[in-house]
Amino acid sequence: MPAIELSDLVLARNGTTILDGLSAQIPAAGITALIGPNGAGKSATLRVIDGLIAPDAGSVRIVGDGPVRRAFVFQRPALLRASALANVALALTPLALSRDERTRRAQAALARVGLGDRAAAPATRLSGGEQQRLALARAWAVEPDLLLADEPTANLDPGATELVEGLIAEIARQGTKVVLVSHNLAQVTRLAVDVVVLARGRAVEQGPTRTLLTSPRAPETRAYITGELPWTSFAAAS
């Protein structure tokens, strides 16, 4: 499992500073949650970790045993206009597997997320919860060392949220490091081992989940937890 070291990350877009010298050390085990108000830099941090965005300054170091295989689950799944099975199988193409092996692994991944009977269904006709489970199946199929999840239950009803949370927890139990962005503090309490609090593009506090949420040290953390948000002029990107 990889550990992640973020050092003095700076990112600006269109004259707005999104990350402003962000540094944090994310441990190798379990689920780490990134929390903070809109515009704090949470989603941008995930994208920088994944390499989808290059920072203007600073560095990301992912420490693992050899190359680290990564997967990303977005708030709104980006799915092909194809079957659920084809969506998962396509993610396996870079692994240089035979066609039969890709199909087998894709079918197994769909079964793990409760979509085994929906393999032939067009992905775009699945419900929102099913689509997010399909996105998790696609990520899980590649057997990632690191899973980055950006508010994966933000648009889901409570039942679908519970299913997705259970799958994320199971992925972590099987040895994948998970970094999760969430505004749902109850979800963070249920899932995360530790929390990094972001404010104004910086990491202002980090610690074990229950300790941090019940006894926050940083004033920004206390304000966020209690719903007092004096820094409403953040950048639009979270």
- Quote the CA–CA distance of 169 and 171 in Å, as a whole number: 5
Whether residue 156 is found in the same domain as residue 53: yes
Residue 170, in any domain of the structure: no
List pLDDT tens digits, range 140-190: 999 999 999 999 999 899 999 999 999 999 999 999 999 999 999 999 999
Q: Which residues contact 152 (CB under 8 A, 6 or more apart)?
A: 73, 74, 75, 132, 135, 136, 164, 168, 180
Question: How many domains does the chain fold into?
Answer: 2
Whether residue 157 is found in the same domain as residue 58: yes
DSSP state of 53: S
Are the CB atoms for 95 and 47 separated by under 8 Å?
A: no
Residue 166, in any domain of the structure: no
Whether residue 155 is found in the same domain as residue 134: no
- Tell me the sheet residues that pair with 35: 197
State the pLDDT confidence band at 29, using cuts at 50, 70 and 90.
confident
Whether residue 25 is found in the same domain as residue 61: yes
Residue 50 has pLDDT above 70, yes or no: yes
Whether residue 196 is found in the same domain as residue 214: yes
- Quote the CA–CA distance of 231 and 39 in Å, as a whole number: 10
Whether residue 63 is found in the same domain as residue 155: yes
Residue 177, in any domain of the structure: no
Helix (H) or strand (E) holding 127, with range, is: none
Range of the domain at 6: 1-68+148-161+185-225
- Quote the CA–CA distance of 156 and 32 in Å, as a whole number: 21
Residue 238, in any domain of the structure: no
Are the CB atoms for 72 and 45 separated by under 8 Å?
A: no
Residue 168, in any domain of the structure: no
pLDDT at residue 64, rounded to an integer: 75
Residue 234, in any domain of the structure: no
Residue 105, in any domain of the structure: yes
- Quote the CA–CA distance of 112 and 82 in Å, as a whole number: 20
Whether residue 35 is found in the same domain as residue 99: no
Residue 230, in any domain of the structure: no
Residue 236 has pLDDT above 50, yes or no: no
Q: For 51, left (φ over 0), alpha (ψ -120 to 50), or beta?
A: left
Whether residue 123 is found in the same domain as residue 154: no
Strands of 16-116, DSSP E: 16-26, 31-35, 57-63, 70-73
Whether residue 12 is found in the same domain as residue 38: yes
Whether residue 157 is found in the same domain as residue 220: yes
Whether residue 130 is found in the same domain as residue 25: no
Q: Are β-strands 57-63 and 177-181 bridged in parallel, bridged antiparallel, or unpaired?
A: unpaired
pLDDT at residue 1, rounded to an integer: 65
Whether residue 86 is found in the same domain as residue 131: yes
| CA–CA distances in Å: residue 37 to residues 82, 116, 154, 179 | 36, 37, 14, 17
- Quote the CA–CA distance of 26 and 33 in Å, as a whole number: 10
Residue 138 has pLDDT above 80, yes or no: yes
List pLDDT tens digits, range 118-133: 999 999 999 999 999 9
Residue 234 has pLDDT above 70, yes or no: no
